[in-house]
Amino acid sequence: APGTPAPARSAPRTEREEKLRALVADVLGLDPARVGVHDSFFDLGGHSLLVPRLTTRIRTELAVELPVPAVFETPTVAALARRTTGGPDRETGTGGGTAALGPLLPLRTRGDREPLFCLPPASGLAWGFAGLTRHLDTDRPLYGLQSRGLVPGEKRSESLAETVAAHTARIREIQPAGPYHLLGYSMGGLVAHAVATTLQAAGERVALLALLDSFPGAWTSQGPRPTDRPAVLRGLLAILGREVPAQDDELTDRRFAELVRRVPDLPGSLDDAELAALVEVTANNRRLLEEFDPLPYDGDLLLFSAARDPDAHPDRHTAWQPYVRGRVHSHDIPCTHGEMTRPGPLDLIGPRLARQLRTAAPDPTHRRNPA
């Protein structure tokens, strides 16, 4: 069943692999015999909050400095062993590895089912979706799509239409034909809806459109103004699950960095240039989401709402109905907006999502338009 690690098929072949397997097993609370050297850290139950714990153990016990994002690029014991001994990373499945801040974040590349493509909130980071792997069927690939500009010096998207076009093109590079499965969180829900209607306009079938606490209309104009840097910093702290200072407390870039790094998770591992890029991407995305002008989506919408968010109310899901020709299936999750991709909420979201993916079988009568 998804979420239950299978007995290890591949035993360690070297002393380094043996030590790394023991560390991975300990961090995940598993019997080492249940960790194969080719099993992904995330498939075994790992998530973004546990990655820094693993890299800390590797640094302490193996005396190797491993950047936190490297676990996304090389998530198996075998690949980590090669990486920590200077060998080539042949197991990433992405032609040599993809930067954890790049536009494509491969969370699981193996499997013969149609992938699930995940679009991120205004931070542009898709790291939180890693926790889904243990809930999905093991032959379901999983990809995160991230905002351009997270790599320092990289150009940011200039419009929402450009963002949608870039994500759609990247999705079709990986999966040339439908049916497609899309999941969007917060701003990513708006983008996922736009990607879905773009694919449908091209004659493709979208079998699943699922959103995490994402709403159209007046919601898109809420939140910090893109030009109000302290407000953007406060909003980003909330997205990252950090303490948000009171409005009358001065919030400088230095104070922002201190608050982010107070938690030893993935954002807390970013250097100054990467944090600055993250802030700029978030501000830019706040501007872009105000351009959302949806076409109707031809299908049902699966919506997970943060029931403990201050602005939550029972009828929020109806905001989507004018833009959906099918039904809106809404599920309340007992968490706040910024907690939607934390392990607890994903324990509720993941199984429902997995069941929906299994029932979203290809339609043999569907005919795609010629290119």
Same fold for the pair 1-95 and 98-362: no
Enter the CATH code of domain 1-95.
Answer: 1.10.1200.10
Segments making up each domain of the chain, as ranges: 1-95, 98-362
Amino acid at 319: A
Q: In whole angstroms, what is the distance from residue 337 CA to residue 305 CA?
A: 8
**pLDDT digit of tens for each residue in the chain (371 aa)?**
444 444 446 888 898 999 999 999 999 888 988 899 988 888 888 887 788 888 888 988 888 888 877 888 788 899 899 888 865 444 443 333 346 889 999 888 888 999 999 999 999 999 999 989 889 998 999 999 999 999 999 999 999 999 999 999 999 999 999 899 999 999 999 999 999 999 999 999 999 999 999 999 765 555 666 678 888 898 888 888 788 888 778 888 889 999 999 887 778 888 899 999 999 999 999 999 889 999 999 999 999 999 988 777 777 888 999 999 999 999 999 998 888 998 899 999 999 999 999 997 554 443 333 33
pTM: 0.84
Instruction: Give per-residue burial for 45-81: e unless 16+ CB within 10 Å, then b.
Output: bbbbbbbbbbbebbeeebeeebebbbbbbbbbbbbbb
Task: State which CATH number among 3.40.50.1820, 1.10.490.10, 3.30.70.1230, 3.40.50.10440 fits the domain covering 98-362.
Answer: 3.40.50.1820
Tally of helices (H runs) and strands (E runs) in the chain: 10, 7
* Phi, then psi, of 264 in degrees rounded to 5: -80, 60
* Phi, then psi, of 221 in degrees rounded to 5: -100, 0
